Structure 1
């Protein structure tokens, strides 16, 4: 059997692999070490569906003459797949709003597969805040009801789809421009420090909603920084593992910061304004200042 990788012959020794599924698994492991993934696969000039291996994984390789593998950088594949997800969700939302039941029904046949891709390719913080899978039942309810009469989707469903699209777009920007996106996040973070120093005062003067919104925004900004900081360091020719922030290895520092935010969230739930003020002034702000100082030194 001839194996071509990106149209170039591969010198590969088969050791006990008798079925196509075993060959592909070995190729995936080998490519992963080089940060590549398989994008397309052909068996004797016929395309193979990589998303469903049930029809080909047990194929005896003795009956295969040529296997053509197209591989791309994992980050490139992720970028392309996220773009496809954003387009799909936008088209689905528009079809539903326009009452195009035929197009919406066609698109919905792929919804579970898109949901799987969304959950596997998006950062976990996005999946938690905008889970696509919780929309499945509501979308199918709309599909059932609109088959009887032309009903528009609920505003909540439309907004949920729009949030998911915006999350995908943010992730795409982070993949394509990690330094720029990380710089923007740090700029926002620096601008938030004065407000964080006055967090206790906000609560004492009845500005509870303003204080909560500030913390929510801060959580989003820090999530973004934590997603990007490792790559940011790499692109700046620094190793995240070599960095020390407040005499802690960088990863331990982020873990400690995350623990403090969990404590801050609990303080908000119990309306403990004294603890909120103490955590903000003596724990969070000093840590954020140290983080900004380290980033400015890179």
Structure 2
């Protein structure tokens, strides 16, 4: 059997594989080590649906001439899925602007599948985006279907325009991580002088100003970590073990900061910023210098 990946034949030694499922699993595992994911599969130039694996995984492979897969990097796959999500969002907007009720209802029928992708594609782990969109759709007569005034349509349209901006932002991160990373890196560096003043702000009644700085830093740092995963492997390997420890350390502190923010514990927030986060920010340029130097 000849094995092809993205049209290129590769030397892949089959050992204990006895079925097509075994071959697929071996190739999939090997590609995963290279940060690739299989998106399409062809046997003897006939496409086999990966989602129907249970129907073909036990078939013998000895009588097959070729095993061809299309594989994308994880970043390429995410970019592709984000573009699909973006297209859906833009179609919703078009149907609302044109008053195309038939198209709108078709799209809303598919919305359940779309909203389930927010968690993975938009890092909506708290479901804040999903819950906000559901609230907007429900309160304006779109899910479930009800009476819709011009004002209802306007509110839903505005929400999907805002959602489009979020999706576009994620696409830019995936497609140009160095530029996006540099912008984020610079924003954090510029914010650091204000971060040093958070404890004093909290002690002098400037709680809102302090909260704004904390929120801004948390969002920027989480964004930077997200972008970092899209960089080339050779870049990620710089300071790999030290960086891994640094990220784990900072992630734990940010979690504590979030909990302190939620409980409105200003004393703990000030202490975390002054004694935990700021000392660690001294190492920040060293770990993320690759973004700063290549993002021009």
**TM-score, with structure 2 as normaliser:** 0.74
> Quick check: 1:264–1:279 contact (8 Å CA) kept in 2?
yes
Residue 17 of structure 1: SS of its match in structure 2? Answer: coil
Query: Does structure 1 residue 187 correspond to structure 2 residue 174?
Result: no
Measured after TM superposition, the shift of residue 220 of structure 1 is: 0.6
Measured after TM superposition, the shift of residue 103 of structure 1 is: 1.6
Q: How does 1:115-130 map to 2 (within 5 A)?
A: 115-122=115-122, 124=123, 126-128=124-126, 130=128
In 1, the alpha carbon distance for the partners of 2:134 and 2:171 equals 24
In 2, the alpha carbon distance for the partners of 1:276 and 1:11 equals 56
In 1, the alpha carbon distance for the partners of 2:198 and 2:136 equals 39
Say what the alpha-carbon RMSD is for the aligned residues: 3.9
Deviations 1:181-211 (A, max 9, x none): 2221121112212222222343344432222
Residue 278 of structure 1 aligns with which residue? 271
Residue 287 of structure 1 aligns with which residue? 280
Residue 245 of structure 1 aligns with which residue? none
Residue 17 of structure 1 aligns with which residue? 18
Measured after TM superposition, the shift of residue 224 of structure 1 is: 1.7
Using a 3 Å threshold, how does the CA distance of structure 1 residues 160 and 25 change in structure 2: closer, same or farther? farther
Residue 196 of structure 2 aligns with which residue? 197
> Quick check: 2:21–2:59 contact (8 Å CA) kept in 1?
no
In 1, the alpha carbon distance for the partners of 2:15 and 2:151 equals 56
Residue 106 of structure 1 aligns with which residue? 106
In 1, the alpha carbon distance for the partners of 2:41 and 2:131 equals 29
Query: Does structure 1 residue 75 correspond to structure 2 residue 68?
Result: no
Residue 239 of structure 1 aligns with which residue? 238
- Larger deviation, residues 284-293 vs 183-192: 284-293
> Quick check: 1:233–1:239 contact (8 Å CA) kept in 2?
no
In 2, the alpha carbon distance for the partners of 1:270 and 1:113 equals 34
Aligned length: 287
Give the number of the structure with larger relative contact order, counting CA–CA contacts within 8 Å between residues 6 or more apart.
2
Deviations 1:200-234 (A, max 9, x none): 34334443222212211110111022223466595
> Quick check: 2:119–2:125 contact (8 Å CA) kept in 1?
yes
> Quick check: 2:142–2:148 contact (8 Å CA) kept in 1?
no
- The unaligned stretches of length 5 or more in structure 2 are none
- The unaligned stretches of length 5 or more in structure 1 are 243-248
> Quick check: 1:130–1:160 contact (8 Å CA) kept in 2?
no
> Quick check: 1:182–1:232 contact (8 Å CA) kept in 2?
no
Measured after TM superposition, the shift of residue 279 of structure 1 is: 2.8
In 2, the alpha carbon distance for the partners of 1:296 and 1:30 equals 31
Residue 7 of structure 1 aligns with which residue? 7
- Larger deviation, residues 250-259 vs 149-158: 149-158
